[in-house]
Amino acid sequence: MIRFKWPAALVLVCVLAQVVEAAEPIRVVVWDERQPKQKQAYPDFLGNQIAGALGVRPGLSVKSVALDDAGQGISDKVLDQCDVLIWWGHVRQGLIKPEHGKRIVERIRAGKLSLIALHSAHWSTPFIEAMNARSKEDALKQVPAAARAAAVLKLLPADPPLYRAPSRSAPLTPAASFFRNADGRYEVNLRLPNCCFPAYRPDGKPSTMITRVPSHPIARGLPKSWTVAHTEMYDEPFHVPAPDVVVFEERWAAGERFRSGMIWNLGKGKVFYFRPGHETYGVYFEPLPLKVLENAARWLAR
């Protein structure tokens, strides 16, 4: 029998190919509140449109859930099978209680899943709780390391309160102040983030998306600038902790601008906020916003 000796490089390629072929798909869960107004642009609801568009892409296994499902769509059974959670909420945000948002944040911090918050999900319970958690981390990091464990953290509610947009003159949140008490411990007064912005305009005018970090995996295959045909306008400042990366910036002809693709590290996981949208505009039929979501899901599940 003649034996052929395969080059080591070829053997390695074959082994790697088998590993890639055998890799488990990335498990994406798309959560949607499914309000009737969505039917103006999304006949089968917005979340189902995103799930259907992503579900045909190789390596992604996508499940669509809704607020009215068992466990509000975020039962432990669902989250146990989730690597990336995409969240769309608007008028029914307050029906998800803070304790449920905290459950999701615990999973993010443990590296069990990452969160993508879309458009008006800036006021969704999981995003708010994630921003609160990051605000606490950022505030405590400003205390000297040797004194951090003994520091007293006092949480002050968002001002204005949640679900009320701040005025342009409102102090930015989150905001922390520090002082030493009588026994020498640091006390930290932390004003939690409002997670909103002073102006919006739901007129459906186009926006220009600028790719600020073209080398980032979320920006792979995206042009330097591109147009979202019909969208709602949000205007800075956005009352959230300083992000670790701003991948995209969005601008409008009237002069408004917004950091429309932001990433925060949170423990072992990450949160990505992607702004374009409004339930009455077909943003998530457009190829480039869907490409952003695909890229984000692949990178966040890395």
Determine the average pLDDT of the residues in 17-42: 84
Q: Is the pLDDT of residue 227 over 60?
A: yes
- The values of phi and psi at residue 32, to 5°, are -140, 135
Instruction: Give the rounded percent of residues in the chain with a pLDDT score beyond 90.
Output: 90
Q: Is the pLDDT of residue 19 over 80?
A: no
The Cα–Cα gap between 66 and 48 comes to 9
Token code pair at residue 27: 């498990």
Give whole-number Cα distances, 293 to 41, 190, 223, 272, 298, in Å. Answer: 19, 33, 15, 10, 9
DSSP 163-184: TSPPPTTSPPSSEEEEEE-TTS
CA nearest neighbour of 253 among 211, 207, 204, 199: 207
User: 212: exposed, middle or buried (C-beta count within 10 Å: 0-12, 13-18, 19+)?
Assistant: middle
Rounded to two decimals, the pTM is 0.92
The Cα–Cα gap between 18 and 119 comes to 39
Q: Is 101 helix (H, G, I), strand (E, B) or coil?
A: helix
Topology at the third CATH level for domain 9-131+258-300: Rossmann fold (3.40.50)
Q: What is the pLDDT of residue 13?
A: 42
160 prior amide bond cis, ω within 30: yes
**28 forms bridges with which residues in the sheet?**
62, 84
The Cα–Cα gap between 204 and 289 comes to 16
Q: Where are the domains of the chain?
A: 9-131+258-300, 134-191
pLDDT digits (tens, 9 = 90+) for 95-152: 999 999 999 999 999 999 999 999 999 999 999 999 999 999 999 999 999 999 999 9
